[in-house]
């Protein structure tokens, strides 16, 4: 085994000294980080949608603005760092000790213009709010009206010229969209026109519709002399208080962190799949290249085929483990740094959820077991191929088999202890991925023991078959062997040479 260790050491050092290895280590975390950060940053940097409103009713849009401002003011009160202008208005150092009902009342009075406060401070606040830019609003809270949308003051409402002018501005891309409200929008069957050339971004329309529908409902209740608060109370849905049973048998309220934890294994499965597939394919490529370059023949003059195969598998495994550990470190760094850049307020420690020792230990164990299983298949496959083209053709069935764990990730994530999850757990090619996916379940202890033992036995059997194929196939050149030849190699006892017919 000492010679196998030397081969493994050679493989590991050789991989570590290549530029491709370090590029791979750096590139993957960069890609993952960018795939998360770039869409969020682009969304934050997206220009506020400029819109206008033609209100023939002379009341709906005013009520709409009051509703929107009321919600915005309350969000500012609930912010981690409320703006100084708002704190000065209420002569407070913080809103932490203020009840939610009081915040609701204050925000409503402030939006309606009925707040009893110092007139000078009130004027200063309204001036600050009126001149607040979209960028400044986004820094306070990305969900604020001013951060997402920009109201364009259109010409006098009610004339055909107004709509024509706004249509021209949409065509010239000065305006994103505009709404045209009828004379009596509270009547049954009335419509509000939404004019926009962008058919994919519905954020403005849905945002406007939410508040407009609420106001229309209030108006209809009032018209029919139905108490709106009573109606709301009647229509108020039931509140479901989600709870779970702990290991001690007690009920416990489900937290956001618990929900996130339930889906963390899916992320690990994806990383596990990439790691196993990438590292196992690295072994295949390495084997084929050394065989085609006749380096194998030189190595076999000093070591046996089994020692060579074992050394290559262990060396590539060490390389893969180094890559995986670098990913884990990068993931932790990203969870610590990225949220502080992208999100102003984080309600939980993601690093503590992802960094659960049970998840990390499962990930490392299943990476090694999954790699060893597929390494046995691919090292045998590489030994019978004379070129990378031949190897790529043979990789097709393996790739298809590896796609099944990916396709079953979401169903298993939703029901980690269901029938599908249990059945796939006992199929060795899928065991590492499925059991990792079920980690949040978690499975019963006997399932861990049974599936792990089955996987270890399968790995031993796969390596026994791979060794039989490798010792003969690694020195063969020319036409690739047929399936019956490979079966003959497997049947041939160790120490004897298989008999093949020349064709």
Mean pLDDT by 10 residues, the chain (503 residues): 85 84 78 73 75 90 93 90 91 90 93 90 91 85 87 59 85 92 89 92 94 92 85 83 78 76 82 84 84 79 84 88 82 67 52 73 88 89 85 85 88 89 92 90 89 94 89 80 84 63 48
Tokens standing for 452? 């792990």
pLDDT reported for residue 251: 79
Beta strand segments in 90-151, E: 149-151
Q: What is the pLDDT at residue 21?
A: 79
Residue for token pair 């058919």: 199
Q: Give dist(CA 380, CA 473) in Å, integer.
A: 8
Do the Cβ atoms of 351 and 336 come closer than 8 Å? yes
Contact 11, 316 (CB under 8 A): yes
For 79, list phi and psi in degrees, rounded to 5. -65, 155
pTM for this entry: 0.68
Where along the chain do its domains lie? Answer: 2-34+255-491, 47-235
Q: What angle do CA 330, 336, 337 make, to 5 degrees?
A: 85
Residue 227 neighbours by CB distance under 10 Å = 11
What letter does residue 493 receive in the DSSP assignment?
Answer: P
The rounded distance, in Å, linking the Cα atoms of 195 and 406 is: 42
Tally of CA atoms within 13 A in the half-sphere of 319 that contains its CB: 29
Using only the alpha carbons of the chain, give its radius of gyration: 33
Q: Is the alpha carbon torsion for 324, 325, 328, 329 positive or negative?
A: negative
Length of the chain in residues, anyone? 503
Closest CA relative to residue 471, chosen from 314, 296, 280: 296
């Amino acid at each position: 085994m000492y010679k196998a260790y030397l081969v493994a050491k050679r493989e590991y050092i050789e991989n570590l000294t290549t530029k491709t290895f370090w590029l791979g280590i750096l590139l993957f975390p960069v890609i993952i980080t960018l795939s998360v950060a770039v869409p969020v940053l682009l969304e934050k940097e997206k220009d506020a949608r400029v819109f206008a409103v033609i209100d023939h009713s002379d009341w709906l849009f005013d009520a709409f603005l009051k509703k929107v401002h009321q919600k915005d003011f309350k969000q500012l009160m609930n912010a981690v760092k409320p703006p100084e202008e708002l704190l000065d208005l209420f002569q407070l150092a913080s809103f932490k000790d203020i009840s939610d009902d009081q915040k609701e009342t204050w925000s409503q009075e402030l939006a309606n213009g009925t707040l009893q406060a110092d007139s000078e401070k009130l004027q200063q606040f309204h001036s600050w709010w009126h001149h607040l830019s979209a960028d400044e609003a986004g820094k306070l809270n990305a969900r604020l009206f001013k951060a997402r949308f920009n109201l364009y003051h259109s010409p006098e409402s009610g004339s055909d010229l107004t709509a024509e002018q706004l249509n021209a501005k949409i065509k010239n891309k000065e305006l994103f969209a505009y709404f045209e409200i009828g004379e009596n929008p509270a009547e049954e069957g009335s419509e509000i026109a939404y004019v926009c050339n962008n058919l994919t971004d519905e954020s403005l329309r849905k945002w406007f519709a939410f508040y407009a529908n609420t106001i229309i409902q209030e108006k209809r209740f009032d018209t029919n002399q139905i108490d709106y608060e009573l109606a709301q109370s009647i229509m108020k849905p039931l509140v479901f208080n989600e709870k779970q049973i702990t290991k001690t048998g007690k009920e416990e309220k489900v937290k956001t962190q618990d929900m996130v934890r339930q889906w963390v294994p899916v992320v690990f499965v994806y990383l596990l799949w990439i790691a196993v597939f990438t590292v196992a394919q690295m072994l295949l490529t390495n084997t084929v290249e050394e065989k085609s370059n006749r380096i194998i023949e030189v190595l076999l003059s000093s070591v046996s085929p089994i020692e060579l195969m074992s050394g290559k598998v262990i060396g590539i495994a060490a390389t893969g483990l180094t890559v995986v550990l670098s990913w884990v470190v990068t993931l932790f760094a990203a969870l610590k740094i990225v949220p502080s850049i992208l999100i102003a307020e984080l309600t939980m420690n993601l690093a503590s959820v992802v960094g659960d020792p049970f998840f990390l230990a499962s990930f490392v164990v299943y990476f090694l077991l999954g790699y060893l299983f597929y390494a046995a298949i691919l090292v045998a496959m590489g030994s019978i191929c004379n070129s990378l083209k031949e190897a790529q053709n043979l990789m097709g069935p393996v790739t298809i088999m590896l796609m099944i764990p990916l396709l079953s990730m979401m169903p298993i994530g939703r029901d980690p202890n269901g029938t599908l999850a249990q059945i796939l757990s006992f199929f060795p090619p899928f065991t590492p991925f499925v059991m990792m996916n079920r980690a949040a379940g978690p499975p019963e202890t006997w399932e861990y023991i049974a599936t792990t033992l089955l996987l270890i036995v399968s790995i031993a059997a796969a390596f026994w078959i791979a060794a039989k194929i490798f010792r003969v196939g690694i020195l063969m050149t020319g036409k690739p062997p047929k399936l019956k030849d490979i079966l003959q190699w497997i049947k041939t006892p160790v120490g004897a040479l298989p008999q093949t017919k020349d064709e």
